[in-house]
Amino acid sequence: MGTDPTHKMRYVIFINAIADRRFFYYMTMDKPNWLKEKGYLHLSPSLELGSNWQNIERKITSKKYVENYAFYPLIHTILSDRKFKKGNFEKFTTEKRKHTHYRHKTLHPVKNSKKRPLHYASHLDALIYGYYADILKTRYEQLLKKEPLQDEAVIAYRKIETFKNSGIGKSNIHFARECFDEIKNRTDKDKETAVLAIDLKSFFQL
């Protein structure tokens, strides 16, 4: 390039133009849905994504980075969910729905709660898991779409919109209503209908 100041200025302008284009590219990119800050306490410090989220995204989406990454251990805790359950008059003093029922003879309290084991990943670990979960979710949806019957029946680990492009996912209330409507529709048509209701205990525990 020599010592010509004109050449040096052109070179600087060229480099700045590339930098500005890259900056504009990153500023106009939308942050992925899986890239979310986690607010809970852990062994590692909380990540403040802010305007630096592109750098974190580049790390997470790099196979080489993940291959050499040392994951933190999980923090384990037990969450107790209180249930508002109907009482059994043969066992308890009332049939009303309560958080706690009392036995007839002993008046011993029986709390209606369910223990849920939870494992918390560190903040960066959780983002890595979220990235690969998003990839698996996309492939899972593609697989289900190939079989219409499966697509209608399977509701676990999916966001099924209340209506097309609503952006709002259905809840258990929606699915329960659809189930009852289907049962009513079949019985109204004098179709023989069988309903199976089961609860698998500790399904996700190894």
Contact 109, 97 (CB under 8 A): no
Write out the two tokens for 62: 């790099």
Confidence at residue 4, expressed as pLDDT on a 0 to 100 scale: 58
Dihedral sign for Cα atoms in the order 44, 46, 50, 54: positive
Our CA dihedral for 51, 128, 60, 70, rounded to 10 degrees, sits at 120
Residues of the chain with pLDDT under 50: 1, 11-12, 14, 23-28
Confidence at residue 63, expressed as pLDDT on a 0 to 100 scale: 94
Cβ atoms within 10 Å, residue 123:
21
Confidence at residue 84, expressed as pLDDT on a 0 to 100 scale: 66
Beta strands, E only, 52-171: 75-82, 85-86, 97-98, 100-102, 109-111, 113-120
6-48: pLDDT as tens digits? 555 554 454 555 555 554 444 446 888 888 888 888 888 788 8
Write out the two tokens for 98: 């309560």
Contact 68, 80 (CB under 8 A): no
Q: How large a percentage of the chain has pLDDT more than 90?
A: 26
Cα 175 to its chain centre, rounded Å, is 18
Confidence at residue 8, expressed as pLDDT on a 0 to 100 scale: 52
Confidence at residue 127, expressed as pLDDT on a 0 to 100 scale: 94
Confidence at residue 29, expressed as pLDDT on a 0 to 100 scale: 64
Round to whole Å and give the CA distance between 96 and 165. Answer: 41
